[in-house]
Amino acid sequence: MIAMLRGVLVEKSADAAIIDAGGVGYSVRVSATTLAALPELTKTVTLRVTTHVRDDAIVLFGFATRAEQSLYQRLTTVKGVGPRLALSVLSGGKVEEIVQAIVRQDVRRIKQIPGVGLKTAERICLELKDRVLEIDTGASLAAAAAGAAPTGGGPREDVLAALAQLGYKEAEALRALQSAVREGLVAPDGSG
């Protein structure tokens, strides 16, 4: 299986790129986000790759970041979401925005993505809510879970920072805080 591809960018189209790696031109399907991150033609490019083998073809899907690839892999586990639709979802915004929409259960935001209907958007939000917390997007998932844009400061962020100092990963700390809120041990803002 091909995990990463490095070579010269030979061609770009609306949803694919051709990369010359060692004299072989690989056609790689990419999201609009990855396409925008690609350098100009004839420059060296490195993409993370997920390979899909079908009866009639081997298709490479390329990603500029690990976070984008991780979200793609989780999306393809949702019933009704195949590789192409997952790529469309990734083209619907930055990875951080999509992850935050899923965590907030913002079905309307996911449904706005071309090709995603109401039932599929609901399934994506329901099935991936907890699973996308593990994706390191560089954005604050605590703010996403609270339904706000990442800001910083405040009791909730202080609690999460303290848990991080104790060795908890951000996703684990967020789950622990959400559990404490559900059980009434702390206020929704993270204060006593």
| 177: exposed, middle or buried (Cβ count in 10 Å: 0-12, 13-18, 19+) | buried
Q: In the CATH scheme, what is the homologous superfamily, with its name and number, of domain 66-134?
A: 5' to 3' exonuclease, C-terminal subdomain (1.10.150.20)
In this predicted model, what pLDDT tens digit does every residue of 122-138 receive, in sequence order? 999 999 998 998 887 76
Summarize the confidence of residues 91-105 as an average pLDDT: 93
Nearest to 82 by CA among 47, 105, 52: 52
In angstroms, what is the C-alpha Rg of the chain?
Answer: 19
Of residues 25 and 174, which shows the higher confidence score?
25
Continuous H helices in the chain: 32-37, 66-75, 83-91, 95-103, 107-111, 118-128, 141-146, 155-165, 170-182
Any residues with CB less than 8 A from the CB of 85 and at least 6 apart, and which?
A: 75, 115, 116, 120
In this predicted model, what pLDDT tens digit does every residue of 59-71 receive, in sequence order? 999 999 999 999 9
Nearest to 142 by CA among 111, 94, 181: 181
- For residue 146, pLDDT beyond 70: no
Contact at 8 Å (CB) between 36 and 23?
A: no
Question: Which structure tokens are listed for 35?
Answer: 């396409």
- For residue 36, pLDDT beyond 70: yes
Any residues with CB less than 8 A from the CB of 183 and at least 6 apart, and which?
A: none
Predicted TM-score (pTM) of the model is: 0.71
- For residue 141, pLDDT beyond 70: no
Q: What is 4-63's CATH topology?
A: OB fold (Dihydrolipoamide Acetyltransferase, E2P) (2.40.50)
Domain ranges of the chain: 4-63, 66-134, 148-182
Q: What is the dihedral of CA 122, 124, 182, 160, to 10 degrees?
A: -140
